C-alpha cells in the first residue's frame, strides 16, 4: 500500500466513522510589560481546558482570578480548573506585586491611581493574539486586594463583566450607578478590619438595585473551602441563566 492510499484510508475513517481529534488542555505562564514601578514585568497564568479547544465556538468566556497581596496567580487559580473545564471557560490569573516598603505612595495595584484595569485589558489582548480565540464575558474572583481589583474593574468596565465573586475587599469602594453585573460578596465573620468595606460596597449596590448576594463564613480573612465551592456554584448559576 503506497502513502497516498494510506492517507486516503485514514481520511475516510476520520471523516465517515466519526473519529474526533483529541485535544489537550494548555496552561502556562506569560507576562506583559506595564508602566507600574512594582510590576514592570507583570506575570500571569493562563489555562485553556480541552473543552474549550474541542468546541467549535471561537468566543469563550474568561475567569479572571486575582489573589491578594503578592499572591501567585498560578497557585491561586488551581481550584478553578475543573469548573473552567465544565463551563468551557479559560482562566487568566495575574500575579500583581506589592511594594510593602513604599505603601504610603499608594502606587501598588490595589489603589485607584495606580490601576485603571489596563493591565488586565493588555493580558486579554495578548491571550487573544496567542490563542486566536475571541474573549467574551468575564467571570471574576478576587480575595483581599484582589477583591479590590475585581470590584473596581467591574465598575470601570461593566460592559465586559458578567459576574464577580469577592472576598474580604481590601479597600473602600462604593457603587454610584446601576450596572448589570451580578455580585457574590463573601466575608469572614471575624474579619472585623474589613467589615466596613464590605458593608459600604454591598449597601451601595443594593441601593442601586444591583443583583448582589452576601454571605458570611466562620472565618477571619482567610479563604475557606466552602467559599471556593460557593463561588463555583455562583458562576454555574450565572452561566446557566439561573441568577
Listed residue (90, 88, 95, 89) closest to 74, CA to CA: 95
DSSP structure class, residue 72: -
Judge contact between 171 and 193, C-beta under 8 A: no
Paired with 62 in beta bridges are 90, 138
In DSSP notation, 20-43 reads PPP---EEEEEEEE-S-TT-SEEE
pLDDT value at residue 129? 93
Q: E strands, 70-181, where?
A: 89-94, 134-143, 161-167
Residue with cell 475567569: 63
Residue 6: CA count within 13 A, CB half-sphere = 3
The pLDDT profile of the chain, 243 residues, written as one tens digit per residue, is: 554 455 454 444 444 555 556 678 999 999 998 877 677 788 999 999 999 998 877 789 999 999 988 889 999 999 999 999 999 999 999 998 776 665 555 555 555 555 668 889 999 999 999 988 999 999 999 999 899 889 999 999 999 999 999 999 877 889 999 999 999 999 999 999 999 999 999 999 999 999 999 999 999 999 999 999 999 999 999 999 999
The structural domains of the chain, ordered by start, are: 23-239 (3.40.50.1820)
pLDDT value at residue 98? 74
Rounded CA-CA distance 110/200 in Å is: 17
Tell me the whole-structure pTM to 2 decimals. 0.87
In this structure, what is the dihedral angle of CA atoms 129, 131, 134, 138, given to the nearest 10 degrees? Answer: -100
Amino acid at each position: 500500500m503506497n502513502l497516498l492510499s494510506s492517507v486516503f484510508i485514514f481520511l475516510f475513517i476520520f471523516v465517515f466513522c466519526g473519529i474526533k481529534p483529541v485535544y489537550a488542555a494548555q496552561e502556562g505562564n506569560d507576562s506583559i510589560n506595564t508602566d507600574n514601578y512594582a510590576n514592570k514585568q507583570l506575570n500571569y497564568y493562563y489555562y485553556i481546558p480541552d473543552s474549550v479547544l474541542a468546541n467549535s465556538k471561537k468566543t469563550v468566556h474568561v475567569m479572571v482570578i486575582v489573589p491578594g497581596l503578592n499572591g501567585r496567580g498560578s497557585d491561586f487559580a488551581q481550584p478553578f480548573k475543573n469548573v473552567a473545564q465544565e463551563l468551557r471557560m479559560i482562566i487568566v490569573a495575574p500575579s500583581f506585586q506589592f511594594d510593602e516598603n513604599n505603601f504610603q505612595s499608594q502606587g501598588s495595584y490595589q489603589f485607584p491611581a495606580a490601576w485603571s484595569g489596563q493591565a488586565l485589558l493588555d493580558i486579554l489582548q495578548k491571550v487573544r493574539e496567542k490563542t486566536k480565540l475571541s474573549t467574551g464575558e468575564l467571570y471574576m474572583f478576587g480575595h483581599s486586594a484582589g477583591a479590590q481589583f475585581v470590584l473596581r474593574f467591574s465598575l470601570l468596565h461593566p460592559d465586559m463583566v458578567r459576574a464577580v465573586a469577592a472576598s474580604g475587599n481590601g479597600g473602600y469602594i462604593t457603587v454610584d450607578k446601576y450596572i448589570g453585573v451580578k455580585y457574590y460578596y463573601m466575608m469572614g465573620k471575624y474579619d472585623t478590619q474589613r467589615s466596613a468595606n464590605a458593608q459600604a460596597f454591598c449597601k451601595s449596590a443594593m441601593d442601586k438595585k444591583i443583583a448582589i448576594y452576601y454571605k458570611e463564613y466562620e472565618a477571619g480573612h482567610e479563604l475557606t473551602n466552602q467559599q471556593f465551592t460557593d463561588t463555583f456554584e455562583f458562576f454555574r448559576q450565572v452561566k446557566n441563566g439561573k441568577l
